[in-house]
Structure 1
Amino acid sequence: MIFSRIAGVGSCLPGAPVTNDDLVQRGVDTSDEWVTERTGIKSRYLADDHCRTSDLALEASQKALESAKMAAEEIDLIIVATTTPDYIFPSTACFLQARLGVKGAMAFDVQAVCSGFVYALIVAEKFIRSGSHKKALVVGAETFSRILDWKDRGTCVLFGDGAGAVVLEASDKPGILAAAAYADGSQAAVLSVPGAVHGGKVVGDPFLRMDGQAVFKFAVHALSEIAVECCAQAGIQMQDVDWLIPHQANLRIINSIGKKLKIGTDKIIITVDRHGNTSAASVPLALDAAVRDGRIRRGQKVLLEGVGGGFTWGAVLLEF
């Protein structure tokens, strides 16, 4: 039987961290105290005008390939999860493929907003387990700052830019132990960018809009339930999970999930305080940070989960 395992991880953050005080200096109507108390966020990274999503994806991918001790030419599947692609089309995955200097590998984007990386990982795992592909590059990459209204302090202070990547390869030993993903399109208005390009003009609103309280309630409920579901699929208890990596949206959301699941903060990977909410990049960024600092080690069980506009939500339980 064919299974899949993570062979390497990598990440990329653009430029220097931008603190809450830096945002105040840039003219945002907020304060460090206000942001920290409500979100736990102290800083984030913001791409400059010349930085594209594929730039971040490329660096994260190169680091993941280096971590896996693998050449780009060995990859036969590229999936990029992003809400902020370089172009409407071609896909950012195709741009990434070209910049890696390879041809032929299947390449496409996944759009599930903050759940995107988890969705993409689930899709890649299915391709590998089918036997059609052997080595996949799965990336979450965002330049989310491009769709923020910097006059809306309730949203603009929450988000940042970045990318994270993993190499997933076929294995004779199980790596991904369980997975689940869902969507509820009836909740679209709670978190969305309600605009589009039509006839060369922006129609509607091109900025992110969010009902923060509704997102909070939905996220805590959905991510708690799906974590239990994945553990049940794998035949383990929550206490058997070594590390929980939830979507890094808000420290209060993360702490609430931990309480519902009865998981202490010593077993939860938290990067939202340094990175902000990087949408599809948040989970792989946190995974890479914890692998590189030695917290996550081979053989440990790690639960990844994301929730985002759509609403979409999903989780993957893996043995690293």
Structure 2
Amino acid sequence: MVVRLWFSALVLTALGAGLPAKAGAQSNLLVNPGFESGSSGWQSSEFPTFLQQNWHPHGGQYAASVTAYYDCCNPYFYANSVWQNVAATPGLLYTAQLWTYLEDASSAGDVRLDFLNAQSSTLPGSVYLYLNDPPYAWASHTLAATAPAATAFCRIMLTAEWQTTNQVARAWIDDASLTAGVVGVEPGVPPARLELAQSFPNPAGAELRIGFALPAAAWVRLRVYDPAGRVVATLADGPASPGEHAVRWDRRTADGRVAPAGLYLYELTAGAERRAGRMLLLE
């Protein structure tokens, strides 16, 4: 019997009033990762029900339990799924960490970090870890992989398997996290050179994100220009520590207006070095 809990994460960026986030302080990209707000941010399949309980919290007051059933009369196994579906960026390194609790000695399973395209098909590059933890205790698991081309979503998945045909099986999840960094840069490890990622999504609608990585501490300036070379917006202008950073742009210009559709340039200056890219904004 298999109890499935599916976790997909919206990749949000750590921001601070236009300044890039500091390396080593990456934000957790999951909504309500400790289930302290009930099922907010999560979705679940219809049967069996997804529950928020406080019987076995790893941290805080709550953890989430998902119950599956074995119908011995049919016989048939009913599994449950819990997930968040949001966008991911090709070329970024994703690191997932989650705590799991197996309800009894008959439980086993695995954890996965998957990447999906826009049609929700699984792409190459998934990583997998088999669960052989003892029951009745919380265990931590960490997975990391770089999102391949055509990635639209990132999915963290926990599968708990029944070893026997017990009529009820239960798995717990708590204190999950997902972080994203610039390609080739491990969390907390500076790159060998200045790196500027392609804005994502591109083309962009309401907002986009620009990632970059610094080999050493520097004063950085990230600006957006129109084709005539005029400054449209300054997204960062200040000191930044080594490592990966990400800045969000909501298309607001320096005077507070929404930038019209069209082609734009963006330029990163860090010390004496410069990197530039292009982006397309849609109506």
TM-score by length of 1: 0.27
Between Structure 1 and Structure 2, the one with more helix by share is 1
Structure with the greater alpha carbon radius of gyration: 2
Ranked by relative contact order (alpha carbons within 8 Å, sequence separation 6 or more), the top structure is 1
TM-score by length of 2: 0.29
Between Structure 1 and Structure 2, the one with more strand by share is 2
